Structure formats: structure tokens, C-alpha cells
């Protein structure tokens, strides 16, 4: 099930708020509609919102393609600002928008209508690259998953969080493709329930055994010896290997360390933010309190109480066994290892 579908001038976002009960796409013909889809978590997941924002930029270019060049670029800058403002934590969003802007800037002097075509092609390239990158991550990660492994996941880092294959779930898919039998325990991941609603839905459709657990059960399963390995995604990784990911990830990492269980993060190079030295510099999105005070549209907490709803937390690198990327595996990440790894892979470090 593709989280994003696209044609020239229109982007369809699978409305993940309705899953697993209803499969319905939101049609977007403007960058503003894409921005609303990202902000409202119609589409979510670091790589998926990055690709969606890229298509949002392509729509903006089409929206402004009939004006003069100066107004065209002003329109692109406005769209870039609006898209980047939707969700602050996942660096893939800003990465994709800046990549689209940089391509446009190389075309100054070209007719806006032609630039719009070039940006449409670039957005499609970003989407195609994501699937290829996910499969490379999957292949590197599959070697870390033993046959009969009992795997704990948190949130959803699957096809629904990317353009269609998955990072953490991509590793699980490749391990299964390599003939390994696994059983996944999926944290439900309150408050948005990406685990119960999305990860379980994806894995069940793929006929991969999955058991949903409440977030507060992870420690008990580990203590009972029922978890062999943890694998999660990421929204932003600092140069020292600190990882921002869905709220609750840090707690799982602490529990895994206490039980000597390997804790892996699967993420593409586009999720690394090498401009920041540590996770302390990663902006943490806070979302509306109704995500906490309400469940399925019904109030579950009293009126007038305090509410705190950070959507992400930061897991320090010293709790991470390894980060799995499309270029290979960074064992025991720290700043020196991360920068050397990407330098050897031929990327800006």
C-alpha cells in the first residue's frame, strides 16, 4: 500500500489517521494541502514526510509556473518555508525541501514552466531513491537478525513511514526474504498508535507474525526473556549518534540496555543532521493535548488538567548498539565513528 501516490500536478496521501479500518487517499493539488497533510499526520514518518514535502514543492512550482521568474522563486521560497514549518523534528523534511530549492536555483534563467517540470522529476527521483535506499538498509540489517528472532519495534518505521518499503520494517522484511523466521512484538505507541494501527497492519498484510503490546509491557517481556532484539527508525540523528525518534524510544533503549538486548536504529543518510553535534540540539515537536486527553474521539482525562505531549525523545548514542544505513552498519556510534563512516562512504561528514 503506497503512502504517497503522484501524478503531474496532484499528490495523493494515504490518510494514515484512518488505518487500519479505512483505506482512503487525500488529494492534494497545492503545496498548502500537502503541508496540511503533513501537519495533521495524514502522512507521517520521516522519509515519507520528506518525499511528500518534495512533491509539495513540485506542486508549488506548478502553481507559480505562469508568473515571471522573480515571483516564481518568491513563491517557491514561501512554499519551502511553509512546508518546513509543519513538523520540526524529522530532518528529512528540511533536507528534501532544500534539495528541491537547490535544484530550482540551478535553473535560474530557465522558464518557470520548464523548472516546474524539472522539479516534478526531482520529486519523483527522491521517491524512487527512498525505496532503493530502504532495501539497502534492509539488506545490511538483515544480517543482524537471527533466525527465530523475537523483535521488539516501537512506532512505525515501515512502508507507511517511507515511500513504500520501510527502514526498521525494511530490515525485518529483508530478514524474512532471506529465509529467517521472526516474530515481531509491536509497541502500540501511544498516543497516535503507530504500532498498533500501522506496524501491525503492515506486518499482518505481509504475513509476518506480529503481536501488539501496550507500551508499558516492553520491560516485562524483556525481563521474561521474550525479546531478542529491538529495532526502531529515526527522525533525526546528530553527528555523535544521538537519535531522535518517537516518544518512548528512549525508555525502550534504557530497558534494552538493562537486559543486555541489542538496540538497533535503521535510518538513511538523509536522516543524519551532521550540522549538530548532539541530540540536545534536536527540536522536539510538541503536539496538541487532545492526542493525550482523548481516545477515539472520547475524553479520557478530566477537563482543566495539565497535559504534556512531546512527540519525540532522544536516545543517547551510548544506548545504541548500531545504526544501520544504506552504506553499512555504524557499530557503537560516536561522533568520530559517524563522521569517518560517511567520509569513507564518500559523503559530506
Ligand X SMILES: CSC[C@H]1O[C@H](OP(=O)(O)O)[C@H](O)[C@@H]1O
SS3 68: coil
Comparison of 63 and 167: residue with beta carbon closer to ligand X: 167
By the 10 Å C-beta count (0-12 exposed, 13-18 middle, 19+ buried), 7 is classed as: exposed
CB 312 within 8 A of CB 244: yes
Element (H, E) at 255: helix 249-258
Q: Flag whether 123 is marked binding.
A: no
Query: Segment 75-114, which members bind ligand X (CB under 6 A)?
Result: none
246 binds ligand X (CB under 6 A): yes
User: Quick check: 153 binds ligand X (CB under 6 A)?
Assistant: no
Judge whether 12 and 26 are in contact, CB under 8 Å.
yes
Omega of the bond leading into 339 within 30 degrees of 0 (cis): no
Q: Smaller CB distance to ligand X: residue 116 or 237? A: 237
Exposed / middle / buried, residue 331 (Cβ in 10 Å: 0-12, 13-18, 19+) = exposed
Which range touches ligand X (CB under 6 A), out of 145-153, 154-162, 275-283, 336-344?
Answer: 154-162
Map residues 305-324 to x or -, x wherever contact with ligand X holds by CB under 6 A. Answer: ------x-------------
- Give the three-class secondary structure for 183: strand
Specify whether 68 is catalytic.
Answer: no
Which residue minimizes CB distance to ligand X? 233
| Sheet with 229-232: strands ordered across | 210-213, 182-187, 149-153, 229-232, 263-266, 322-325, 328-331
- Does the CA dihedral 97-99-102-106 come out positive or negative? negative
Q: How far is the CB of 134 from ligand X (least distance, A)?
A: 8
Which residue among 63, 86, 153, 194 contacts ligand X (CB under 6 A)? 194
Exactly one of 144, 155, 218, 222 binds ligand X (CB under 6 A); that residue is 155
C-alpha cell at 94: 528540511
Binding mask 36-75 for ligand X (x = CB under 6 A): --------xxxx----------------------------
For residue 97, the surrounding DSSP H or E stretch is helix 91-105
Q: Which of residues 167-186 bind ligand X (CB under 6 A)?
A: 167
Catalytic residue among 120, 130, 235, 273: 235
Identified binder of ligand X from the candidate list 126, 157, 171, 238, rule CB under 6 A: 157
Does 123 help bind ligand X (rule: CB under 6 A)? no
Instruction: List, as residue ranges, the binding site.
Output: 44-46, 87, 194, 245-246
Catalytically active residues, by annotation? 235
Binding residues for ligand X, per CB under 6 A? Answer: 44-47, 155, 157, 161-162, 167, 194, 232-235, 245-246, 311
Amino acid at each position: 500500500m503506497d503512502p504517497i501516490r503522484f501524478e503531474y500536478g496532484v499528490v495523493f496521501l494515504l490518510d494514515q489517521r484512518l488505518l487500519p479500518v479505512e483505506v482512503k487517499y487525500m488529494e492534494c493539488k497545492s503545496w498548502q494541502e500537502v503541508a496540511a497533510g503533513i501537519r495533521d499526520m495524514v502522512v507521517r514518518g520521516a522519509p515519507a514526510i520528506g518525499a511528500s514535502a518534495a512533491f509539495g514543492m513540485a506542486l508549488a512550482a506548478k502553481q507559480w509556473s505562469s508568473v515571471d521568474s522573480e515571483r516564481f522563486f518568491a513563491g517557491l521560497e514561501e512554499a519551502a518555508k511553509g512546508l518546513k514549518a509543519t513538523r520540526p523534528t524529522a530532518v528529512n523534511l528540511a533536507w528534501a525541501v532544500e534539495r528541491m530549492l537547490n535544484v530550482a536555483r540551478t535553473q535560474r534563467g530557465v522558464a518557470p514552466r520548464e523548472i516546474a517540470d524539472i522539479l516534478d522529476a526531482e520529486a519523483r527521483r527522491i521517491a524512487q531513491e527512498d525505496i532503493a535506499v530502504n532495501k539497502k538498509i534492509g539488506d545490511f540489517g538483515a544480517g543482524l537478525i537471527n533466525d527465530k528472532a523475537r523483535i521488539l519495534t516501537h512506532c512505525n518505521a515501515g512502508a507507511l513511514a517511507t515511500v513504500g518499503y520501510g527502514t526498521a520494517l525494511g530490515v525485518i522484511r529483508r530478514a524474512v526474504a532471506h529465509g529467517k523466521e521472526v516474530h515481531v512484538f509491536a509497541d502500540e505507541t501511544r498516543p497516535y498508535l503507530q504500532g498498533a494501527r500501522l506496524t501491525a497492519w503492515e506486518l499482518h498484510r505481509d504475513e509476518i507474525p506480529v503481536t501488539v503490546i501496550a507500551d508499558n509491557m516492553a520491560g516485562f517481556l524483556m525481563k521474561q526473556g521474550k525479546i531478542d532484539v529491538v529495532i526502531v527508525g529515526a527522525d533525526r540523528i546528530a553527528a555523535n549518534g544521538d537519535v531522535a525518534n518517537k516518544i518512548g524510544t528512549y525508555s525502550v533503549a534504557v530497558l534494552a540496555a538493562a537486559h543486555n538486548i541489542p538496540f538497533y536504529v535503521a535510518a538513511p543518510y538523509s536522516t543524519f543532521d551532521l550540522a549538530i553535534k548532539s541530540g540536545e540540539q534536536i527540536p522536539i515537536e510538541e503536539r496538541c493535548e487532545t492526542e493525550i486527553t482523548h481516545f477515539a474521539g472520547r475524553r479520557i482525562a478530566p477537563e482543566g488538567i495539565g497535559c504534556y505531549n512531546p512527540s519525540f525523545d532522544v536516545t543517547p548514542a551510548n544506548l545504541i548498539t548500531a545504526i544501520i544505513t544504506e552504506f553499512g552498519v555504524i557499530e557503537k556510534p560516536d561522533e568520530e565513528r559517524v563522521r569517518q563512516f560517511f567520509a569513507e562512504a564518500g559523503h559530506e561528514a
